[in-house]
Amino acid sequence: MGVNVREKSIEEIDEKLHSMNTELNKISYLESALREAGFSYEVKRFIWGKLGELYISRKMYERAAKAISNKAGVEISSRDKIESYLLAGELYAKIGKIEDAEDMFVRASRDGSLEVKEKIKLARKNIYLVCARDLGEKGKRASSVKYYEKLIKMKLDDVEREEVKNKLIPIYKALGMFREARLLEGV
């Protein structure tokens, strides 16, 4: 079911969105607008951004990550592109799609200087730490393992590496992964 989209400018689309009552109607309208041909990159950027915001507010994180990733693809400035890719990576990490999150972080680091790449690595590390901690608090130890395993493979300083190791070993033992725990204790 598609909505007929007559609006062609950002102002007209924004006005139409404000006249709608529910977020689901807005999502349906914006998805229909994306299927229309003839929009400039500026309008597409606006639509992808609004769509991402609506998906996030509805806790539809995978769709939000896809929308924000698409928005990053049409961003003009490298700073906006990097921020969009980082947000998409965070959303993918939040739903457990680590490989997709890694892809977003790699895309973000392509466009940055050495200083920016370091900030991206720090953001990636912090996102993984938060996701692993949240999953551990919810009792989802098996899910938190993949984040800790990614973290242990990263270049961390000795204190952080030891901290991650100390969290990962008990989880391995609790899950019956004794061989992995022994291997990690030897590192």
Q: Give a yes or no: residue 124 inside a domain.
A: no
List the Cα angle 10/109/59 in 5-degree steps.
50
pLDDT of residue 1: 52
Residues 76 and 140 in one domain: no
- Fill in the amino acid letter for 165: K
Residues 73 and 149 in one domain: no
Residue 105: C-alpha distances to residues 88, 98, 187 (Å): 9, 10, 27
Residues 78 and 143 in one domain: no
Q: Give a yes or no: residue 15 inside a domain.
A: yes
pLDDT of residue 55: 93
Residues 68 and 138 in one domain: no
Its domain, for residue 172, covers 132-187
Q: Give a yes or no: residue 98 inside a domain.
A: no
Q: Are 96 and 143 in contact (CB under 8 A)?
A: yes
pLDDT of residue 51: 93
Give the domain-ending residue among 87, 122, 154.
87
pLDDT of residue 7: 75
Residues 19 and 75 in one domain: yes
Domain count, the chain: 2
Residues 7 and 81 in one domain: yes
Q: Are 63 and 23 in contact (CB under 8 A)?
A: no
Q: What is the pLDDT along the chain (187 residues), one digit of tens a residue?
A: 566 777 788 888 888 888 888 888 899 888 888 888 778 888 889 999 999 999 999 999 999 999 999 999 888 888 889 999 999 999 999 888 889 999 999 998 887 788 888 898 889 989 998 988 888 888 888 888 888 888 888 888 888 888 888 888 888 888 888 888 888 877 6
In sequence order, what are the residues at sequence separation of 6 or more whose Cβ sits closer than 8 angstroms to the Cβ of residue 16?
7, 29
pTM of the model: 0.85
DSSP states along 27-85: HHHHHHHHHSS---HHHHHHHHHHHHHHHHHTT-HHHHHHHHHHHHHT-SSHHHHHHHH
Residues 69 and 136 in one domain: no
